[in-house]
Amino acid sequence: MIYADNAATTKMSKAAIDTMFRLVNDTWGNASSLYSVGQTSKEVLEQAREDIANLIGAEPKEIIFTSGGSEADNQAILSAAKIGASKGKKHIISSAFEHHAVLHTLERLKEDGFEITLLDVHEDGIIREDELEDAIREDTCLVTIMYANNEIGTVQPISRLGEICKKHNVLFHTDAVQAIGHIPVNVNDDNVDMLSASAHKFHGPKGVGFLYVKKGIRVTNLINGGAQEKGRRAGTENVPGIAAMAVALKEAVESLSENYENVSKKRDCLIEGLSKIEHSALNGDAKKRLPGNVNFCFEGIEGESLLLLLDDKGIMASSGSACTSGSLDPSHVLLAIGRVHDVAHGSLRLTINEETTDEDVEYIIKAVDEVVTYLRSFSPIWRDLVAGKKQFIL
C-alpha cells in the first residue's frame, strides 16, 4: 500500500500518538480547575503553547488553540473584518484558489456588504506582488493569501506579500495549513499578522489546530462561553490533542531540512516520470511548490476512475474531478490556473512524504501510466483526439 494523499491528512507520528495516549490518562483534569489535577493539565497546555510559539517565532500569548485549520481561518478573517468595519473599511483581498474555509467565509462577508477582490493566481499558481499592491485600496482591511496551495502545492512569496501589506498598513493573514512543518515558516520573517495551522497535516491529531495572532490585534470570539484562551475561544481545552500537536510540530520542524531534500527529490522524479505520459501536464510551477506535491492533468480521461483503479493497485491518491468533489464542476483551483473543464476532470494529485521510497515512486509512475493508457483505450474523447476530430489541449 502506498499512501500518497498526505495533503488530505497525515498519519499521526508515533511520538504524537504516545503523547496523546499518555495524556489522556495524565491530564484528564480541567485546565481551568485550581486543584492539582487541573493544574497539571494547565501546565501541559501552556508548555504546548510555548513550544509551538517558539517553533514559529511567536510569543505564547499570540497562539490561540482551535479545532483546526477551518476554525482558525474563520476566526482570522472575521476578526479582521470586524476591525475593518469599525473603521469603515470593508474591502478584503484574497486569491481565487484559497481553501473553502477562506472562500466561503469571504462569501458570507459579502452578504454583510464587504467587497472582495480575488487576485489572479496565473498559470503557474503564483500570486504576483505588483498585482497585490495594485489591488490595495484606502478601504482594504485584510489581505488573506494561503502560504501553499492544498491541491497544486504552489508556495506563495508570503514574506514579500507581507511586506507590501505592512507598507500599506493592512492586516495580513495566511492559511499556512499545508506549509507548516513542511517548509520553513516564521511569523516574523514572513511578515504575517495572523496565521492558521492544523495539526493533522503534520502528523498530529485531527480536530486540533491553532491561530497565531500578533499581539495588539483584537480577536473576535467565534465560540462564546468560558474564559479559555484568554476569552478568545471558549470550551474546555483538548489538552492531549494540543500537546500531541506540539510534539508533532517539533518533530516536523526538526527534520524539516532533511525531509525537504529527500521528499522534493522524489517529487521531481515523479514529475519527470509522469511527464513522459503523452498529453499530460503538470499543474502549478515545477519548483515553487511543496516538497511532496505532484499534480497532473491527463487528457481524455476522468479522475475518479483513475483513482479507483490506482486504489486497486494499492495507491491512495486524490483528484480534482467533479465526480470526486460531489459537485458538477471540477476543482476551483485547477480552473483558477486556467485549466478548462475538459482537462481539469482528468487530474491526479499525489502528495508523498518522507516515508515514500524510491521503489514507491517507480511503482506509482508505472501504475499511473498503465491506468491512463487503459482508460484512454475506451475513451470516446481520446478516440476523437487521436483521429484529429478534436484538438489536443495538453
Ligand X SMILES: Cc1ncc(COP(=O)(O)O)c(C=O)c1O
Residue 309: CB minimum distance to another protein, A: 8
Residue number with CB closer to ligand X (70 or 324):
70
Note whether 342 binds another protein by CB under 8 A.
Answer: yes
Q: Smallest distance from the beta carbon of 147 to ligand X, in angstroms? A: 8
Separation between Cα atoms, residue 152 and residue 295, nearest integer Å: 6
**Site track for ligand X across 76-115, x = CB under 6 A:** -----------------------x-x--------------
Confirm or reject binding of residue 313 to another protein (CB under 8 A).
no
Q: Cα 379–7–15 angle (5° rounding)? A: 140
Amino acid at 258: E
β strands within the chain, DSSP E: 2-3, 63-66, 91-95, 115-119, 140-144, 171-175, 194-198, 209-213, 280-282, 293-298, 315-316, 347-351
Q: Counting contacts by CB under 6 A, is residue 289 touching ligand X?
A: no
Total residues at interface with another protein (CB under 8 A) = 25
With contacts defined by CB under 6 A, name the span among 69-77, 217-225, 242-250, 378-386 that binds ligand X. Answer: 69-77
- Give the SS3 label for residue 348: strand
Quick check: 228 binds ligand X (CB under 6 A)? no
Which one of residues 41, 74, 154, 178 is an interface residue with ligand X (CB under 6 A)?
178
Stretch touching another protein by CB under 8 A, among 22-30, 115-123, 124-132, 323-331 = 323-331
Q: 259 CB contacts (<8 Å, ≥6 apart)?
A: 182, 252, 291, 353, 354
Consecutive H or E run containing 359: helix 358-377
**Measured between alpha carbons, how far is 376 from 374 in angstroms, rounded to an integer?**
5
Residue 323 a catalytic site member: yes
Cell of 23: 495524556
Task: Please enumerate in sequence order all residues whose Cβ is within 8 A of that of 221, keeping only pairs 6 or more positions apart, or say none.
Answer: 231, 232, 233, 234
Q: Which of 91, 330, 348, 356 binds another protein (CB under 8 A)?
A: 330
Please list, in sequence order, all residues whose beta carbon lies within 8 angstroms of the beta carbon of residue 391, skipping any fewer than 6 positions away.
385
167 binds another protein (CB under 8 A): no
> 67: which DSSP letter?
S
- Other Cβ atoms less than 10 A from the Cβ of 142: the count is 29
Q: Is 304 in the site for another protein (CB under 8 A)?
A: yes
The entry of ligand X, another protein, none near residue 351 (CB within 5 to 8 angstroms by kind) is none
Do 112 and 77 meet the contact criterion of CB atoms below 8 Å apart?
A: no
Contact partner at residue 323 from ligand X, another protein, none, CB < 5 to 8 Å by partner kind: another protein
The distance from CA 284 to its chain's CA centroid, rounded to whole angstroms, is 15
10 binds, among another protein, ligand X, none (CB under 5 to 8 A by kind): none
The nearer residue to another protein, 316 or 323, going by C-beta atoms, is: 323
Task: Using CB under 8 A, pick the residue from 61, 100, 341, 366 that binds another protein.
Answer: 341
Q: Which is nearer to another protein, 69 or 300 (CB)?
A: 300
Which residues are tagged catalytic?
323
* Interface contacts to another protein, rule CB under 8 A: 300-305, 308-309, 312, 321-324, 326, 328, 330, 341-342, 345, 378-383
* Interface contacts to ligand X, rule CB under 6 A: 68-70, 73, 99, 101, 146, 150, 175, 177-178, 198, 209
